Structure 1
Amino acid sequence: MTSTLDVGIEQPAPELVRAPAEGVPPVVRTDDELAATVEALRAGTGPVAIDTERAHGFRYTGRAYLIQLRREGSGTHLVDPIAFAGDAPRADLSVLAEAIGDAEWIVHAATQDLPCLAEVGMLPRRLFDTELAGRLLGLPRVALGSLIEVALNKSLAKEHSASDWSRRPLPPEWLNYAALDVELLIPLRDWTAEQLREAGKDIWAEQEFAHLAAHAADPPATRTDPWRRTSGTHDVRTARGLAIVRELWGERDRLARELDKSPGRILADRAISGIAVRAEASDFVSGRDALRLVEGFKWRIAARYESNWLAALDRALALPSRALPPKRPPAEGIPHPKSWPTRFPDAAERWARIRPATVELAEELKLPVENLIAPDAVRRLAWDPPAGGSSARVDAFWAAEGVRPWQRELVVPVVTPLL
């Protein structure tokens, strides 16, 4: 195995792994097959490599359409959660979580996989995230394929990562790809764990992994006015135009949820902002002809719901002035530091001192600054530091914000004198 210290040394070309060593297992779709998988996993030993395949860009939700598991003495298992959902919105696969008990779960980029695993009742008690381990090690590339090349001098074909995994039946070449995703996760975990120990960062990783596992079931954060993120909205100049964006976005979101399709596959963002810009002209007349002047409304699926778009457009045009959205989004939490110098000079001065100090410390420790400490935690400290500004109070302030002990131990002594 390669050491992180050897990353810059020229190595032989990585070996291309085209198929799992034990072949591609059949997909688990029946109760009997699931029971056999449970028994096999329970009989295995050591940690469990887990991955999921979703249908981002195709479906509305981020649900799992395939779950891959691998354990020593058990082999690889491909489980179709859709087959076990029945009439329920989601399957209950907590029996899989129970089968592996206290075993460590190895995932790559846990924040992507844990939400859809939690939806089917699979919550880890212990966790090892190989992507986060790579970040803590300061490696320049932390994608699964990149880490496997550095650690094991092997490469995996990744040609199906953006496929529509809601498709049934799943093609054999896709299943081959899915099985490969967990084929080398266990040796990759062992390599990254050794590198973390050598770098003195293993305690950091343990705390980060424990934090991820503890918050695996947390609901996703909700955004205020998500429609404002529609591409092209910066070209919309009036409150009436913004109302059109809001109404069309809401109608598209309702349809996308109902149809379980990615919103962008029903109507493009640029179509929404495009008609809003056109509607700001004094001679604009709502109607089918106006919609058809904007390319995105001529898509086959968008044209199918033309009456929905016209109704949304008419609703926005009929709103009284008092009901129009403000041109600027409502303030959420503390203002952005860009506005501090003129409006909040004391906070701006603190930010100008402590932010560069955290960046410099992260560079010394060879890890991304956002992994050393969340930028929002630094902003909150600069905005409203605890009275007295002692190390103990700064430590308690950040502890309440969820900053991990290893982070506080490193950063508190650096920033406290700068407050």
Structure 2
Amino acid sequence: MTEPEVQPLLEPREGIPPVIEDPAALEAVVRAFAGGTGPVAVDAERASGYRYSGRAYLVQLRRTGAGSALIDPIGCPDLSGLDHVLEDAEIVLHAATQDLPCLSELGFRPRRLFDTELAGRLLGYERVGLGTMVEVVLGLRLEKGHSAADWSTRPLPEAWLRYAALDVEVLIELRDALHAELDSTGKLDWALEEFASIVAAPGHPPRSDPWRRTSGIHRVRTLRGLAVVRELWALRDEIARTSDLAPGRVLPDSAIVQAALDQPRTTKALTEIAPFTGRSARRHLRDWLGAVNRARGLAESELPQPVGQGDGPPPANRWADRDPAAARRLAAVRTVVAALADAHRMPIENLLQPDAVRRLAWEPPADLSEEAIAERLRGLGARQWQITLTAHPMAKSLERLEIKGEV
């Protein structure tokens, strides 16, 4: 069987729109989009890997009757006027959770959402990147060569602007096709519940001890070494914030971890760790060494302590030794979720969050009835459609273990 020909999408249908860089031009866009109809396609470009913050450096929109718009948030940092006229519109995003924080910083906060990436996951598409989805669903090929560019660059090259405009060019058509497929497969209500949950989700609070997320920190086995990681991470963060650079461009995580392992005592020893010889890192050699020395001079009581388990269950690979009954419960409910995910053609993590599965198995309700399981899942953040699908078979599976005396 011959596969249908894929058509390259090379130019926006109305050409590359001008970049909106001042409030007067933005006001004209607000009026145009207020007069448009139907869903609004939205995308944002950041400078991840280049700049310190996750702010947007370009916002793209498209709506029937309004065409496309490219807005420069440096010149137009307040999109609350646009947000106001679109408050009743459905906003179409791809991978919404990536763009919503930087859009919120600009005063743009969707009330209704359609996430084309999440729709693809619920429909069982194996690859859900925007380019792949557009190609598979619409038969069009998007050029994705500038997705990792430094969008803080000014002026933005024409090729980048073309790429940005094309990202919203067919997003509404993609939304319409996926909406129809969700409807025909009986998954539309599930998707709408998921989208509403994203909109309603509170913002993430600042992480506690963010330095503990340093890549490779598991190699550091001593409290003194952890102190070195903490000091170097804090110094790097300060330099990165002041310079508006991505932390990894100041000093990579690998250098922090190696310094924690070696704990060098001189700048010469420090430069024997290769990443410290980079142009950016060399500017601060004395500061890096000072951070290592501060960690070395801390009293025992000042050293960071190992992370406790918190309120969650221990790692699942320890359950068989710590609580064999819980391990059997986990195996049983995981089997249920995997079978349901397979039957409904979607990733297991979208059918039910893995953390909810683990917590239910570790600490189930005393009553293993369907109603009690449903209530426990609801308390763990499961959506109603997930509870409807999983509570009954989970209860039956756990009840069978109870009858056998294995729980």
TM-score range, shorter chain: over 0.9
Deviations 1:319-340 (A, max 9, x none): 12232233x4322322222222
Alignment match of 1:238 (pick from 218, 222, 232): 222
Percent identical residues: 50
Normalised to the residue count of structure 1, the TM-score between the two structures is 0.92
Deviation at 1:64, TM superposition (A): 0.8
For 1:300, the equivalent position in structure 2 comes to 279
Alignment match of 1:247 (pick from 231, 235, 242): 231
Alignment match of 2:213 (pick from 229, 236, 257): 229
For 2:404, the equivalent position in structure 1 comes to none
Determine whether 1:179 maps to 2:158.
Answer: no
What is the Cα-based RMSD across aligned positions, in Å? 1.4
Amino acid paired to 2:42: I
Q: Work out whether residues 341 and 348 of structure 1, in 8 Å CA contact, stay in contact via their aligned partners in 2.
A: yes
Alignment match of 1:113 (pick from 99, 116, 136): 99
Distance in 1 (CA, whole Å) between partners of 2:215 and 2:109 is 35
Determine whether 1:320 maps to 2:312.
Answer: no
For 2:319, the equivalent position in structure 1 comes to 340
Structure 1 pair 257–77 and aligned structure 2 pair: CA distance change class (3 A) = same
Deviations 1:293-339 (A, max 9, x none): 1111111111112222122111001012232233x432232222222
For 2:361, the equivalent position in structure 1 comes to 382
Between stretches 245-254 and 174-183, larger displacement belongs to 245-254
Alignment match of 1:82 (pick from 60, 74, 79): 74
The equivalences for 1:150-161 within 5 A come to 150-161=136-147
SS of equivalent residue, structure 1 residue 50: strand
Alignment match of 2:18 (pick from 10, 13, 26): 26
Distance in 1 (CA, whole Å) between partners of 2:89 and 2:259 is 54
For 1:191, the equivalent position in structure 2 comes to 177
Structure 1 pair 235–393 and aligned structure 2 pair: CA distance change class (3 A) = closer
Deviation at 1:197, TM superposition (A): 1.1
Normalised to the residue count of structure 2, the TM-score between the two structures is 0.94
Structure 1: runs of 5 or more not aligned: 1-8, 85-90
Alignment match of 1:99 (pick from 65, 69, 85): 85
Q: Work out whether residues 386 and 394 of structure 1, in 8 Å CA contact, stay in contact via their aligned partners in 2.
A: yes
Deviation at 1:241, TM superposition (A): 1.8
For 2:269, the equivalent position in structure 1 comes to 290
Determine whether 1:43 maps to 2:29.
Answer: no
The equivalences for 1:200-215 within 5 A come to 200-215=186-201
Determine whether 1:372 maps to 2:351.
Answer: yes
Structure 2: runs of 5 or more not aligned: 399-407
**Size of the alignment, in residue pairs?**
397
Q: Work out whether residues 232 and 274 of structure 1, in 8 Å CA contact, stay in contact via their aligned partners in 2.
A: no
For 2:405, the equivalent position in structure 1 comes to none
The equivalences for 1:64-75 within 5 A come to 64-75=56-67
Deviation at 1:255, TM superposition (A): 1.6
SS of equivalent residue, structure 1 residue 410: helix
Distance in 2 (CA, whole Å) between partners of 1:332 and 1:296 is 35
Alignment match of 2:204 (pick from 195, 205, 220): 220
Amino acid paired to 2:22: T
Distance in 1 (CA, whole Å) between partners of 2:200 and 2:4 is 41
Amino acid paired to 2:294: R
Amino acid paired to 1:111: T
For 1:142, the equivalent position in structure 2 comes to 128
Distance in 2 (CA, whole Å) between partners of 1:12 and 1:20 is 23
Amino acid paired to 1:187: E
Distance in 2 (CA, whole Å) between partners of 1:403 and 1:292 is 50
Q: Work out whether residues 207 and 404 of structure 1, in 8 Å CA contact, stay in contact via their aligned partners in 2.
A: yes
Amino acid paired to 1:14: V
Amino acid paired to 2:148: A
Determine whether 1:397 maps to 2:376.
Answer: yes
Distance in 2 (CA, whole Å) between partners of 1:231 and 1:63 is 23
Deviation at 1:221, TM superposition (A): 4.9
